[in-house]
Amino acid sequence: MFKNRTAITTILAAFFPAVISISGILAHAQGRLEAQYGITMAGVPIGNIVWHVEIGNNFYATSANGKASRVLSVLISGEGSVTTSGKIENAQMAPTYFSSSFFDEDGKTELQVIFAAGISKELIIQEPLKKHKLIPLDDVDRRGVTDPLSAMLISANARDGVMESANCNHMLPIFDGRRRYNLVLTYKRMDNVKNEHGYSGPILVCGAILQPIGGYRADSMIVKYVASKSDIEFWFAPITGTSVLAPIRMIVPTLIGMLKIQADRFEAVASSALDSTLSFPKIPSGSDSHRKTESSHH
């Protein structure tokens, strides 16, 4: 999504960016979130993100699209979209399908990932002709992972309460079909947010540490820089009608200044009939005519 796709794109993906134990309340809760985020770098507006989430009785679906441009388009440019759908099984959010499509100065990258029984299979539909040498992934790296969008829907333990500090304490193993990384979240503090369009009230601030594993350029200075920082913050707010928290703000240091993604609109509503309206992407069959690269493990 950005000029250094292996680094900044990962940061933005992480924002949407779980296989987390949760209470039984989620299986009977329904809610919808419509959010719009502004992206700034060192205080300068550079783009925006639109995020849509629907949570039903047994299924969830979420999609996001974004574009970086304006003043810093010389340094940061591109646009893309991501989509996820999954099931809510045994009080857990389990993605089944993830797709992403990004376009930047290198060209278009289009990926899909299928999740089943703790195993992920990636499908490369299109990638730029220009390729970079990346840190390789092994079979273990693709097991027990979640996608970037599902990872950012933090499911609260009802015994502690939606806004309790314990809901920050998670390690999120994320795989987007190319990059594999962990986000380690820990409780930092409680705070408040005021939003003219949607949610205003208490929020849960989690500190985050990025742990790159594979799928990155070994010489990426910005990945090394961000991974060395301990002052990354994710601000989470509740989705009405559910026990799920979603990010309303993210702050992360980079080599060229502080990257901030903040919701200008964060409207969450409860719904009693989402299951009948949820739309899930069709999972491609093995006979797909596109060139594909798969990783499966038995």
* Lowest pLDDT segment from 196-200, 217-221, 279-283: 279-283
Helix or strand run (H / E) with residue 157: none
Cβ 33 vs Cβ 239: under 8 Å: yes
What residues form DSSP beta bridges with 112? 99, 123
Rounded CA-CA distance 20/203 in Å is 20
Cβ 65 vs Cβ 283: under 8 Å: no
More confident residue, 182 or 79: 182
The answer to whether residue 233 scores a pLDDT higher than 50 is: yes
Strands 44-55 and 78-89: unpaired
The closest alpha carbon to 144, from 283, 59, 16, 20, belongs to 20
Percent of the chain at pLDDT above 90?
41
Chain-centroid distance of CA 69 in Å reads 21
> Two tokens at 155?
């499911």
More confident residue, 298 or 193: 193
* pLDDT at 53 (0 to 100): 93
> Two tokens at 80?
């893309």
With bands split at pLDDT 50, 70 and 90, how would you rate the model's confidence at 207?
very high
Cα-based distances in Å from 239 to 78, 89, 124, 193, 242: 29, 19, 33, 14, 6
* Lowest pLDDT segment from 9-13, 61-65, 117-121, 155-159: 9-13
Q: What is the pTM of this model?
A: 0.80
Rounded CA-CA distance 57/102 in Å is 31
- pLDDT, tens only, 265-284: 999 888 754 444 444 444 44
The answer to whether residue 143 scores a pLDDT higher than 50 is: yes
Rounded CA-CA distance 76/67 in Å is 10
- pLDDT, tens only, 53-75: 999 888 999 999 988 764 444 44
Strands 257-270 and 31-41: antiparallel
Rounded CA-CA distance 2/256 in Å is 13
With bands split at pLDDT 50, 70 and 90, how would you rate the model's confidence at 222?
confident
Averaged over 128-147, what is the pLDDT? 88
Rounded CA-CA distance 98/123 in Å is 10
Domain ranges of the chain: 8-270
